[in-house]
Each structure stands twice: as structure tokens, then as C-alpha cells.
Structure 1
Amino acid sequence: MEHTKPIRNAKPTVSVKPTIKLSELNLTPVYIALFVVLISIVLFFLWKKKSQKRTDLLLTGLCESGKTLLFSQLVHNTASETFTSIAENVGEYVAEGSGKSLRVIDIPGHERLRGRFFDQYKNTAKGIVFLVDSVTVQKDIRDVADYLYTVLADPSVAFVPVLITCNKQDETFAKGSSVVKPLLEKELNLVRNTRQNQLQSVDNSTSDVVFLGKQGKDFEFVHLSQSVEVIECSGRENDVKSLKRWLKSLN
């Protein structure tokens, strides 16, 4: 009878897991994710930096609408004698109670100057006060609406609050905001149609044309991307309470 000899040198079986080399991994999705995160962080800081620069209040409108007088009331709290401006006036307005300040830019109203100065400061605008002479608004409505349209349609201020201020309410024949607002909306509707027709005459394609308001509807301020309010004031009589309330909410 044969005897089986025990195998003394037999080694236990060890399972070896396959190793994966780093070079064999597909790291592309990881790199893409990291890149997206990095770009998002950069864009966020750029946006934040840009938004922090908007510290200016722009006073604009046609000549003789009372911008410089209102500027004097806000900055110096006094009604100084004013003349037609050929350069911008710059000062600081400190909101009552909060202590927060805005740099106030009084933009000349002359048609040959206002566009240049508006372009210079529009990218730092935190709010825009568009002054209307409530006494002559019906006579000057076309010029008022044409300039106001230019301001509202500028992409740089698409989300900047706008306050249309019906000034000179202390005068006998001044029109109130309830009259001025629909008057402006009606005229802005005509200006919009005119500009659209001019653009179409240059290029038959209207796909790239910026339309202010809503297609198929008459122009209304509520259709705009930015907040637009219409108030009354009198710079000469220092009746600017509504304006200061708006400025407080702006801060």
C-alpha cells in the first residue's frame, strides 16, 4: 500500500488584484469639471468687481430741464443760480439717515454734448434721473422722447433703475406725472416705430434689431427690463422728497 508524502513546500494561493496605471485612466471629465469651476469663479469675481463700480447717479435730460439746479439741491442743499452747462458737474450726495453716498454726475443737456458725456459715465451708473421740463413737455415731446429712447435702449444700462422726474412743478402750467407718463409712452411708441423702420431700410433682416418693449404691443414702461418710475418735483422750491425716497431705495 502506497503512502502519499505531504508536500511541505506548498505555498498558500494569494489572489492578486490587477493594478491600474494612472496613465490608463480617462481624466478628461475631471479636467473639464475643474476648468468649468475655475472659469465660473473668475467670471463671478469679474462680475462682482464690475457691479461694485456702479456708484454713480446720472442726471440727464434736455437743456433747461433743471438738471444743474437739482444737482445743486442734492449736493449743496441750496438752489444756486445756474447756466447752460458745457461740461459735467460732479459732486457727492449723502443719503439722509443711512449715510450712504453716491457720486452725482450732472450731464450737459445740449444735443452735441449729452451723448458723449452719457457714454463716458453710463458704465458706472447705479441709477439714472431723467429730468423733464413739465411746462414745455408738450412742445418738446418729440425731442424728449427721442433722447429718452436712446437712454433706455442702451445695453449698458439695461438693468439700471431710471427715474423720470417731472420738474418745475412750482410753475402754473406744469403738467403732472399722470399727464406726462402717457404722453411719453405714446411718443416713445412713435419713436420706436421710426427707428425700427430706419433699421429695416438699411438691412431687410430684423433678427438682430433690438426692440425696446414688447413685440405686437404699444410701448409701456412696464415692458422694459429696467425699473422705470415717474415722479414730480421742484428743484427751485427744494421739493425733492420723492426723489430722495427713490435715492434711498437705490442705496
Structure 2
Amino acid sequence: MDETVSLDLAVEDFSSEHDIKTLIEEMNYQDPAFLIGIFVSLAVVIITIVLLKYFLGSKTTRNAVLLVGLCDAGKTLLFSRLLLGRFKRTQTSIAENSAIYKAKNERGSSWTLVDLPGHESLRPQYVEKFKASARALVFVVDSALFQKEVRDVAEFLYSLLTDSVVAKNAPSLVVACNKQDIRMTKSAKLIQQQLEKELNTLRVTRSATLTSQDGSVGGAVYLGKKGRDFEFSQLPMKVEFMECSARGHQGDEGDADIEALEKYLAKL
């Protein structure tokens, strides 16, 4: 009997146990190269399904928007404004605050909004806990005190951007230049320029220190592109700088100036 006909007959009668045995016997007569081709094809299909499940699963689990920054930058008030739409007195956080945030878009998107403590002794453990689930990072900066805090802000931002998990997942990053209601604050453009200079300096000193200690740059990811001064455009994630005011220009009873941030979250 022709090989193709035999295989077709076997497949048609596959429903019974007896015919499964017949199919196996028929396959013994097939060309080995033909059988290898079938097994390779099945393997490719299985591997493709596993990979799709892995990547799609990873994407769906990254549904957190993390509010990060130094102490007193206004993260917790911003957290309250985004969720409640009104002013709420806050105090320095010693644990994370989290809630479901519904974006203002037609899709009805929702994210887990997480406000992380800004104290230097607490930041590392909370960043470690939530970084893998981050879809976006909202790095809140105190625009009024930025000139005094620029070094500390840059060091925290450097630790985030050179983290291997953050670099691999490449969550969107927005630097929210908060407290724009206060007079004589730094603009978002100026904050970006100064942070780029400070991060460039940190990259040189950190790399030199690590290299002198053990001959390598450790497990951290290199910031930006080698041989070029650092710019945020060199990062693997999308980066935006925007001005905002969680308190608002009309005081406690007025509305917050966070429209730009809300639009940003609506596009995630």
C-alpha cells in the first residue's frame, strides 16, 4: 500500500484503541526522515506555546505604577489626589500605600498604584519588593528643594536605572517635578538638564570605584551609552519630564495641577 494512503487511513481510524496500535505499526514503515520532521514540528509548536504563555504572562503581571522619590517630595499627597481627587493631609510613610487606580480613558484601564516610602533606609527593600511588577515608575521630585537635593535625587535615580530587573523590563518613566505652586521652583527642563549632568558624573565615579575594587563593573547595568555623555534619551524605556503640583495653586481647598500626569497614566 502507498505510504501516504496508509497514513491517511490510520489517521481516520484514530478514535479506537485498536486502530491506534495499527497506526503505530504503520508508522514503523515510514521514512525515518519523515517521522523526524513530524516530531520537530510538534516540538516547535509546543515551545512556541510555552514562550507565548511566558511572555504574555509576564506582561499581564506588570500592572503596578510605582510612586518613588525622596522623603517629602509629595508622593503620598499625589497618591491621594490621583485616587480621591481631593486634598488629604499626609505624613512620612514607613510602609507602602497601594490601591487600584482607574485611568481616565475609554478603555477603562486600571493599575495598582503603589506609593513607596522615601526614607533612605527603607527605599531599597520596597524597590526590591515591587520593581518586577512595575509597568511605570513615577519619580517624584521636590522642585522647590531640588537644588539642595540634586545629589540625593540623582543617586536614587541612578540605583533604579542601573538595576538589572528595571533595565530588562524597561517600565515607562516619568519624572514628576512636583510643588510647582511654590514660587522660584526649578522647571522640568532645568531639572532634566541638571540630572543628566549629575548622573553622568555618578556613572564615571561609580564605574571607576567598582573597577578598582574587583576589575569589573559588578551586576549593575551600564547607564546610557559608553563613550557619550549621559542623556535620558539613551535609556531603553520611554522617559518624560513634566511639571505638576499635588497641592495645587489655590491651596488645600483647590484642585491639584496633575492633568499632565493623569493623561500620561491614561496612555499606559
TM-score w.r.t. the length of structure 1 is 0.87
Partner Cα separation in structure 2 for residue 32 and residue 202 of structure 1: 49
- How far 1:94 moved relative to its partner? 1.5
Q: Matches of residues 62-73 of structure 1 in structure 2 within 5 Å?
A: 62-73=70-81
| Secondary structure in structure 1 of the residue aligned to 2:267 | helix
CA distance in 2, matches of 1:207, 1:116: 20
Amino acid at match of 1:166: C
How far 1:210 sits from its partner (Å)? 2.6
User: In structure 1, what residue type is equivalent to 2:261?
Assistant: L
Q: 1:91 and 1:21, CA in 2 relative to 1: closer, same or farther beyond 3 A?
A: closer
What is aligned with 1:168? 179
Q: Deviations over 1:41-93 (max 9, x none)?
A: 10111111111111111000000100001001001111111111101111222
Asked whether the equivalents of residues 199 and 209 of structure 1 are also in contact (C-alpha less than 8 Å), the reply is no
Distance 1:20 1:249, change over 3 A: closer
Q: Is the alpha carbon distance of 1:208 and 1:100 closer, same or farther for their aligned partners in structure 2, counting shifts above 3 Å?
A: closer
Aligned equivalents of 1:162 and 1:56: distance in 2?
A: 12
Aligned to 1:60: 68
Answer with 238-247 or 114-123: which moved more. Answer: 114-123
Q: Where does residue 6 of structure 1 map in the other structure?
A: none
Is the CA contact (8 Å cut-off) linking 2:164 and 2:220 kept in structure 1? no
Task: Please point out which of 211, 214, 226 is paired with 1:200.
Answer: 211
Instruction: Give the Cα separation in 1 of the matches to 2:213 and 2:247.
Output: 45
Any residues of structure 2 matched to 1:175-186 within 5 Å, and which?
175-186=186-197
Match of 1:22 in 2: 29
Letter aligned with residue 65 of structure 1: A
Match of 2:46 in 1: 38
- Which residue of 123, 129, 132 corresponds with 2:141? 132
Q: C-alpha distance in 2, partners of 1:84/1:173? A: 25
Q: Choose from 98, 111, 114 the match for 2:120.
A: 111
Question: Quick one: structure 1 residues 184 and 207, their matched pair in 2 at CA, closer, same or farther if it must change by over 3 Å?
Answer: closer
Indicate the SS of the match to 1:22.
Answer: coil
**SS class of match (2:177):** strand
- TM-superposed deviation, 1:155: 2.6
Structure-2 separation of matches of 1:135 and 1:207: 35
Decide which structure has greater helix share: 2
Greater alpha carbon shift after TM alignment, 87-96 vs 176-185: 87-96
- Structure 1 unaligned blocks of 5 or more: 1-15
> Aligned pair 1:120/2:138, yes or no?
no
Judged with a 3 Å threshold, the aligned counterparts in structure 2 of structure 1 residues 128 and 29 are, in CA distance, closer, same or farther, namely same
Quote the sequence identity (%): 42
CA pair 209-233 structure 1, distance change in 2 beyond 3 A: closer
- Helix, strand or coil: the match of 2:146? coil
Task: Tell me if structure 1 keeps the 8 A contact 2:105–2:266.
Answer: no
Distance 1:126 1:71 in 2: 16
What is the aligned counterpart of 1:216 among 227, 232, 243? 227
Alpha-carbon deviations, 1:70-129, whole Å to 9, x = none? 001001111111111101111222122433221110000001111111111111111110
CA contact (8 A) 2:164 2:219 kept: no
Whether the 8 Å contact between 1:59 and 1:67 is mirrored in structure 2 is yes
Paired amino acid for 2:210:
L
1:142 correspondence with 2:160:
no
Query: Which one of 76, 86, 104 corresponds to residue 84 of structure 2?
Result: 76
Q: Which residue of 2 aligns with 1:89?
A: 97
Shift of 1:185: 0.4
Separation in 2, partners of 1:207, 1:29: 45
